[in-house]
Amino acid sequence: MDTIDSEAIEAPVPGRRAAVFTLGAWCLAPLLRAGPLHAQAYPNGPIRLLHGYNPGSGPDILARNIAAPMAAQLGASIVVENRPGAGERLVAAQVARAPADGQTLYLMTGGQTVVSATDRSLQYDLLRDFSYIGMVSVYPFAFLVSAASPYRTLADLLGAARARPDKVTYSSVGVGTTLHMAVELLGSMSGVRMHHVPYKGTEAYNDLIGGLLDMSVGTLAGAQGLLRDGRLRALCVTSPERWPGYDQVPSVAETVPGYEVVTWAALTAPAGLAAPLRARLSAVLRDTLAMADVRAKVEASGSLVRATSPEEMQARSAADIAKWRRVAEAARIELK
């Protein structure tokens, strides 16, 4: 980025994919924002920024877009680590157990509110075990089909599902995830039943292109390359209106009035983060999201920047847990 004297490199960390974003000279740290804390007290070495998705996914792209400018302001290195699996349960449990020293950060997505609403066996509490730093962005999902699919519109897909209940297949990244629940909500509002096939990450797209699946639910960022290459086609987006940058793609609500699923990504840390440190990280995040090049990159990936206070972000998380609990109860979905 043109405002940062840094570069991204792949770190040789066994067993995981990571990227390191470095400012360079630690001696610049006292000149950067210190807030109530002395600049040399934090960071104390590289900062880890974890998320629960595969390389190239929407959250992964977003994490890497904010890591470098945040590193520049903090005078540290930020290592982005992919920890996919179990609908973010694995990474969330790991972060919840980490020291609350600001050295471990977590790009949480709204999918965690679905998990919290449907899984009573969680080893963490979303509102008790995390310190919310602020929202990063909001984004919808897309219902995707192969370019060769006979379904040209969402109405075509729903018609096929009505004619053949439980025969039309769709994939998500796992049972009880937001992607899964987005289709459950569609089914409850349109009176159709489709057959859910959970996959890991974006691996389902190969089967979708190959004709083994009828539809997949994913992020615009994660499917962007395949959409651009013409191998996938977006039937619709889950926002209540057409999404900026994808004006040619209808919203689900144009076929099923009242339908809306817009999720978010937020920066969090383990619970117990000191108030001055949380305030400093929140200010750095806000400054990062205000950068024109960062906003452009976020929006190019299908998200819209939304900066909030820590308190506003925690309130949004609580409201979404309540919303998805209602949807889960209506669909009779609960993971014991």
Amino acid present at 61: I
Q: What is the structure's pLDDT at 41?
A: 82
Q: Kindly tell me if the per-residue pLDDT of 113 is higher than 70.
A: yes
Domains of the chain, first to last: 7-139+263-331 (3.40.190.150), 141-254 (3.40.190.10)
Q: What is the structure's pLDDT at 329?
A: 86
Residue range 254-299, pLDDT digits in tens:
999 999 999 999 999 999 999 999 999 999 999 999 999 999 999 9
Q: What is the structure's pLDDT at 201?
A: 67
Average pLDDT over residues 236-255: 96
Distance CA 230, CA 308 (A): 36
Distance CA 284, CA 102 (A): 13
Average pLDDT over residues 207-221: 95
Is-contact 35 280, C-beta < 8 A? yes
pTM for the full model? 0.81
More confident residue, 11 or 247: 247
More confident residue, 79 or 58: 79
Most confident of 1-5, 51-55, 270-274: 270-274
Average pLDDT over residues 148-174: 96
Is-contact 237 105, C-beta < 8 A? no
**Is the preceding omega at residue 43 within 30 degrees of 0, hence cis?**
yes
Percent of the chain, pLDDT > 70?
A: 87
